[in-house]
Chain A
Amino acid sequence: MRPVALIGLGKTPFGAFPDRDLRSLAVEAGQRCLENGHVRASQVEAFHLGNFAGPAFVGQNHLAPYIGQGLGLEGIPATRFEAACASGGTAFFHAWAAVAAGIYEIVLVTGVEKMTSQPTPRVAEILASAGDVAGEMKAGATFPALFAMIARRHMHDFGTRREDLAAVAVKNHANGARNPYAHMRKVITIEQALAGKKVADPLTVYDCSLVSDGAAAVLLAPLERAAEFTAKPVRIAAVAQTSDRFALDEKEDITTFPAVRRAAEQAYKMAGVGPREIEFAELHDCFTIAEIVALEDLGFAPRGQGGSYTSEGCTLPSGPLPVNASGGLKAKGHPVGATGVGQICDVALQIRGEAGEMQLTRHELGLAENLGGSGASAVVTILRAA
């Protein structure tokens, strides 16, 4: 396998954009990415699209060639990847694998979701289709409900407090307020987070990520050719994709995600680093409890202590391990198919020193964790300055 570099990136803001359709968002992110990487559409050899539920949200299927055409990509393989909330990370993993294997030189990866054109109960139903429709969802579960049950058990087993969950939301909202591309740029207090409208006990609206529209894109090329395209190449030090049991009630222990642990183990080995060397991370905070569990599964905090680690300030931008300096899914927004690619853009922006008000002081080695469903899919990526 040859080393691979990220040579370009592009994003749309995340938010509710009633006047924008799915294709225009994906095309905008893709075009910004091509410009950023100084790559012409005719040089792209494959197009990978991460998208969770375009067919359900907007009624359009066969999305990769549909969007590829809008980007001026002609004749090349154009493929959609779907792995629920890990759709973007999965599209990225397979693009990396193809470039590393020498199959393609330049691959464009774009993630997109257009969610806000549907009413909330319909959004909940579409999202629920990423769970076990004939089992847990038929009983009336939603994704917030699945993660609420994880939170309940984590609180029971480890003494995690409601305030620890709120600390994740307060931090990510404060971070998002510094991100011009974030859906919600609003600072909140711990009292507000605790008093939020109930979604599924113990989670309130402040524990849940946002329903957003948006797109993000990255360009991959062999590291040895990166200097042809950019003065600031970012090395893909590692990326690993894994899977695990599908339904929450099929897992032995719901307070940990074995898929994330396996992906982390593989990624640390590939990059030749451990969790202590990682300088910052973008974690999949679809719900506040998910960031706490991720801290533990990735080895940043001891098992059961992700909540206290957060409440002690360890994951603040000024802390030893800044987490979700972008605002995370919580404040930046969670256009499902775009999320995994957006996280990688945000890690790369930090490494390139282009994160503006979000810029961290230690920013040469960063990690992104993208989770699908209630842990049936996971992708962990480690990026470093080339």
Chain B
Amino acid sequence: MRVYTETVVYSAPEAYVNEAPYQIAIVVRDDGSRVTGRILGDRVSIDDHVELAETRSGVPYFRKAGK
């Protein structure tokens, strides 16, 4: 799975104010489908490989592959 695009959110919506800053990304899964998820740990860039770390309340959390 690869990062298609990403951003670090500094100004968060009400529900996530306490978590900011946090990184989100659109990730391309191996079947070509895309999903928006959170990034845990190291910041990632476009084309970086990521792996699914966990799923919380239906939201996928990814981290840099091989870490």
Contact = CB atoms under 8 A, between A and B. Distances in A.
Interface of A: 120-122, 124-125, 128, 134-142, 144-145, 148-150, 152-153, 156, 197-203, 247-250, 254
B33 to A, nearest CB: 9
A248 B59 CA distance: 16
B7 A140 contact: no
Given A140-B24, A199-B11, 13 more contacts: A121-B17, A135-B36, A140-B19, A141-B9, A141-B36, A142-B11, A145-B9, A149-B24, A198-B8, A200-B11, A201-B7, A249-B35, A249-B36
Contacts of B17: 121
A247 B36 CA distance: 10
Contacts of B9: 140-142, 144-145, 200
A254 B26 CA distance: 11
A157 to B, nearest CB: 9
B46 interface: yes
B16 A140 contact: yes
Given A139-B36, A140-B38, A248-B26, A125 B13 contact: yes
A121 B58 contact: no
B49 interface: no
A135 B33 CA distance: 14
A365 B9 CA distance: 40
A136 B36 contact: yes
11 contacts: A135-B36, A136-B24, A140-B9, A140-B38, A141-B9, A142-B9, A142-B13, A197-B10, A200-B8, A201-B7, A203-B7
A149 B10 contact: no
Contacts of A125: 13-15
A260 B33 CA distance: 24
A124 B12 contact: yes
Given A120-B11, A150-B5, A141 B24 contact: yes
B26 A149 contact: yes
A264 to B, nearest CB: 24
Contact of B22 (A121, A138, A140, A249): A140
Nearest to A138: B59
Nearest to B61: A139
B5 A138 contact: no
Ranked nearest first, the 5 interchain pairs of A and B with the lowest CB-CB distance are A148-B7, A136-B36, A121-B14, A149-B5, A125-B13
Nearest to A120: B11
Contact of A128 (B13, B59, B60): B13
A121 B11 CA distance: 8
Nearest to A203: B7
Nearest to A154: B5
B51 interface: no
Nearest to B25: A149
Contacts of B59: 138-140
B24 A145 contact: yes
B12 A142 contact: yes
Nearest to A141: B24
Nearest to B11: A199
A197 B8 CA distance: 13
A141 to B, nearest CB: 6
Nearest to A204: B10
Interface string B16-40: 1101011011100000001111100
Given A248-B26, A248-B36, A145 B16 contact: no
A96 B3 CA distance: 43
A200 B10 contact: yes
